Amino acid sequence: MENHTKDSTMKVSSLNCIDLANDDLYHSVASLKQASLDCGFFYVINHGINEEFMEDVFEQSKKFFALPLEEKMKVLRNEKHRGYTPVLDEKLDPKNQVNVGDHKEGYYIGIEVPKDDPHWDKPFYGPNPWPDADVLPGWRETMEKYHQEALRVSMAIGKLLALALDLDVKYFDRTEMLGKPIATMRLLRYQGISDPSKGIYACGAHSDFGMMTLLATDGVMGLQICKDKNATPQKWEYVPPIKGAFIVNLGDMLERWSNGFFKSTLHRVLGNGQERYSIPFFVEPNHDCLVECLPTCKSESDLPKYPPIKCSTYLTQRYEETHAKLSIYHQQT
């Protein structure tokens, strides 16, 4: 199997950069709005997460993936989409990924709620399966702290998105939206394997399911975007990592919410022979949120393009379409 190396003729994308410490709110909102209309991808800097802490999070992630498979399978993902996802577990581009899934392994971590919480028995909430503290001391604490920090940054971006959509700055802060969100971080390790001619990808082409994603990477190139998914042939551009910056992209749910006004863009990862680690943080509204056309995104001449759908219904459908059935793993044990 050959490793796909970076094509020197492949274009490198130029994305807007949003500075969360910028006092010029108008400039930040205008820049974010333009990025959202263009491709739905942008960088975020000065987000307040310490660089040394980020390095520790990546180090802890590597420690988990370095464990024997037997140890990792002890925290295999459950029906609430928490825990370990083995290599080939996920197939995001079935049209092009022939008979195989993504050449990556991952670990989902979501918001924990107490047993007396009304969302306890809902999908995407509840307890996380955690590696044994004796095997990975301090691991859980590091990941829980990062989850809190990433959620804080997401809320700040949510305010800018609200303003860019001509909504009140606190529109998405409500309990039924981001006030009590579904927020899931995912540790990822890519094997560095790709061969598109054989339908083999580190991560198949897809658009994200939810509202937005904050992506932290280890600096290894691999992420590509396709700004026009309907073009023939599709044109792919590399998104270079910027040290200390998040790469943020908008998801399908926000595209629905905004009546197609803001873009959810096709993206994929190609391996270049190197291991690659990344941490996407997926942000969705509350489990019970009805995602329907925002008031500022419709008019008599621009009627809603998508029917209303409950957030949890939509997410459950998308996860089931892309992940292997859990029964497969239980049959193997």
pLDDT per position as a tens digit, 6-64: 444 567 878 999 999 999 999 999 999 999 999 999 999 999 999 999 999 999 999 99
DSSP string, 202-232: SEEEE--SSSEEEEEE-S---EEEES-TTSS
**How far apart (Å, rounded) are the C-alpha atoms in residues 85 and 147?**
19
- Residue bearing the bigger pLDDT, 98 or 180: 180
8-state DSSP, 21: T
Query: Tokens 């410490």 sit at which residue?
Result: 21
Query: Is the preceding peptide bond at 233 cis, omega within 30 degrees of 0?
Result: yes
CA distance to 4, 74, 81, per residue, from 228 (Å): 23, 41, 30
How confident is the model over 56-77, as pLDDT tens digits?
Answer: 999 999 999 999 999 999 999 8
How many independent structural domains does the chain possess?
1
Residue 85 dihedral angles phi and psi, to the nearest 5°: -120, 115
Residue 174 dihedral angles phi and psi, to the nearest 5°: -65, 155
Identify whether 4 is part of a domain. no
- Residue bearing the bigger pLDDT, 278 or 4: 278
Identify whether 2 is part of a domain. no
8-state DSSP, 121: T
Which residue segment(s) compose the domain that 233 sits in?
11-332
Bridge partners of 217? 278
Helices (H), 137-182: 139-164
Give the pLDDT confidence score for residue 75 in this predicted structure. Answer: 95
Identify whether 1 is part of a domain. no
Report which residue type is found at 105. Answer: E
Please list, residue by residue across 102-136, b when 16 or more beta carbons sit within 10 angstroms of its beta carbon and e when fewer do.
Answer: bbbbbbbbbbeeeeeeebeebbbbbebbbbeeeeb
Give the pLDDT confidence score for residue 320 in this predicted structure. Answer: 78
Identify whether 287 is part of a domain. yes
Identify whether 5 is part of a domain. no
Model confidence at 96, pLDDT cuts 50, 70, 90, reads: confident
Give the pLDDT confidence score for residue 10 in this predicted structure. Answer: 65
Secondary structure E strands in the chain: 11-12, 17-19, 41-45, 83-85, 104-109, 182-190, 203-206, 212-217, 223-226, 237-238, 246-250, 266-269, 276-284, 290-291, 309-310
| Residues shown for the chain | 333
Residue 218: is its pLDDT beyond 50? yes
Model confidence at 160, pLDDT cuts 50, 70, 90, reads: very high
What CATH number corresponds to the domain at position 165?
Answer: 2.60.120.330
How confident is the model over 290-314, as pLDDT tens digits?
Answer: 999 999 999 888 899 999 999 989 8
How confident is the model over 142-154, as pLDDT tens digits?
Answer: 999 999 999 999 9
Identify whether 24 is part of a domain. yes
How confident is the model over 99-151, as pLDDT tens digits?
Answer: 788 889 999 999 888 888 877 777 777 789 999 999 999 999 999 999 999 99
- Residue bearing the bigger pLDDT, 73 or 196: 73
Identify whether 144 is part of a domain. yes
**How far apart (Å, rounded) are the C-alpha atoms in residues 214 and 207?**
14
8-state DSSP, 173: G
2 by Cβ neighbours in 10 Å (0-12 / 13-18 / 19+) ranks as exposed
How confident is the model over 228-263, as pLDDT tens digits?
Answer: 888 888 899 999 999 999 999 999 999 999 999 999
Model confidence at 282, pLDDT cuts 50, 70, 90, reads: very high
CA 134 vs. chain centroid, Å, equals 30
Query: Tokens 């500022």 sit at which residue?
Result: 296
